[in-house]
Structure 1
């Protein structure tokens, strides 16, 4: 039997503690849903039942949130390593099965993002067929229902589905796909990670990501957009202090 992955339970979610290559091998073997929760979305764990359901139903959750990791490692004697979505995506895009034409399917946030992301992928030798790119509609806060997306995926049967839309929504979409597709692909909810590489958002150097400074680069590039978002994420501290490894109770 394969060795189960090493995890730490934080806020009721089992976060993977290992390398990007190990995480990708788990996803290649088991398929299912991988989530990369960031602090601005994690703070809603106690007030967003659909987002909460998506995280609890994921097959693998990686430690993208530098804030969560820093707080956890202060609270607990056994530390957890950070595995950012950017590191995970870089490793994922080096894999031969992901680079194979037609074997990955990309869900993009907008036509502008798609053009930039696809151009960057092509510059890396990864050519995505037009039918393997899908523009996500505005899903809203309720239950997601996208039969057109299901039909295309069931027809093309890509092994890897890569979701690049915003946190809080992409996890709900990933769970919808996991529960409703006629087959089981690896669904990677990597959010904005590709935007840092393609130029769709500010470039984040490897060293800045390693030293937990991605939030600073985004805030300096677009202060009106990101400073309020990261300021709101401070609420995660109180949730972690109250609950630690326990799942927070849902607010009425």
Structure 2
């Protein structure tokens, strides 16, 4: 993964280290427009603290991350750490990028694909996107079977279907690390397709998950909202996230 815009901010160490290499939304969309114009694919990851807890203990995840062309900051702690390192990057949650990316795709006549959790969620997201983005073409949607292996023959079949559909931007909403591993796998098989891993972004659009109110997002409390919605799953996750903050703070200070 090469730096795309100036000095990147690095997180982690050794083989699990990753860099946020796109510092602003302006730069991100410049790069993506250029890729679309040249019919060149990409893989876009949105780094958050949950990913940073998984990367040191999941080598397949770390290898997939390093295969991504573009990495942005998804989560205020990542942004705060970048400022501490004096290499500031903007907050760009994957969920907030879906509609702007679709606007860009529609303007440049780029068909899109949706890969996610359930057929109902994908159909709902497709309807919401086509209502919000005039002229958007959704040429392929697919919900992999339960237990989907992102580097299997089934993953290869999805790549074949993507190529046949003409899609050149594919949103993947399968959760980490599965979505990033699939993006890295598919990036090599569909060289003209851009892959964007967006977590719950399509479920939010379809209404299958409810996002935190805007005011809670504005005051950095989206994590608290999600913990209230699903405490058994999210409270342990956030505990692991908080536990790595001291180490990441020391690493950020060393990058000054």
TM-score in terms of structure 1 length: 0.81
Shift of 1:117: 1.8
Aligned residue number for residue 69 of structure 2: 59
Please list, as runs of the form range in 1=range in 2, the aligned pairs for 1:1-252 lying within 5 A after superposition: 4-6=4-6, 7-11=8-12, 12-30=17-35, 31-74=41-84, 76-97=85-106, 103-125=111-133, 129=138, 132-139=140-147, 143-145=151-153, 146-181=155-190, 183-241=191-249, 243-244=251-252
**Separation in 1, partners of 2:103, 2:183:** 22
Which string of whole-angstrom CA distances, capped at 9 and with x for unpartnered residues, describes residues 190-231 of structure 1? 111232333221133444434332212222222233222222
Q: Relative to structure 1, is the Cα distance of residues 139 and 20 closer, same or farther in structure 2, using a 3 angstrom cutoff?
A: farther
Q: Relative to structure 1, is the Cα distance of residues 24 and 139 closer, same or farther in structure 2, using a 3 angstrom cutoff?
A: farther
Which has more helix, going by share of residues? Answer: 2
Q: Relative to structure 1, is the Cα distance of residues 67 and 202 closer, same or farther in structure 2, using a 3 angstrom cutoff?
A: same
For structure 2, the 5+ residue unaligned runs are 36-40
Q: Report the secondary structure of 2:43's partner residue.
A: strand
Q: Relative to structure 1, is the Cα distance of residues 72 and 141 closer, same or farther in structure 2, using a 3 angstrom cutoff?
A: farther
Q: Report the secondary structure of 2:55's partner residue.
A: coil
* Cα pair 2:99 2:129 within 8 Å, conserved: no
Q: Relative to structure 1, is the Cα distance of residues 54 and 93 closer, same or farther in structure 2, using a 3 angstrom cutoff?
A: same
**Aligned residue pairs, count:** 240
**Separation in 2, partners of 1:245, 1:105:** 40
Q: Relative to structure 1, is the Cα distance of residues 222 and 82 closer, same or farther in structure 2, using a 3 angstrom cutoff?
A: same
Q: Which one scores higher on RCO, CA 8 angstroms, separation ≥ 6?
A: 1
**Separation in 2, partners of 1:142, 1:199:** 25
- Once the two structures are overlaid, the 10-residue window that deviates more, 196-205 or 31-40, is 196-205
Q: Relative to structure 1, is the Cα distance of residues 89 and 10 closer, same or farther in structure 2, using a 3 angstrom cutoff?
A: same
**Separation in 1, partners of 2:215, 2:29:** 22
* Cα pair 2:115 2:143 within 8 Å, conserved: yes
Shift of 1:240: 1.8
**Separation in 2, partners of 1:114, 1:67:** 30
**Separation in 2, partners of 1:79, 1:240:** 15
**Separation in 1, partners of 2:63, 2:158:** 21
Shift of 1:170: 0.5
**Separation in 2, partners of 1:209, 1:91:** 18
TM-score in terms of structure 2 length: 0.79
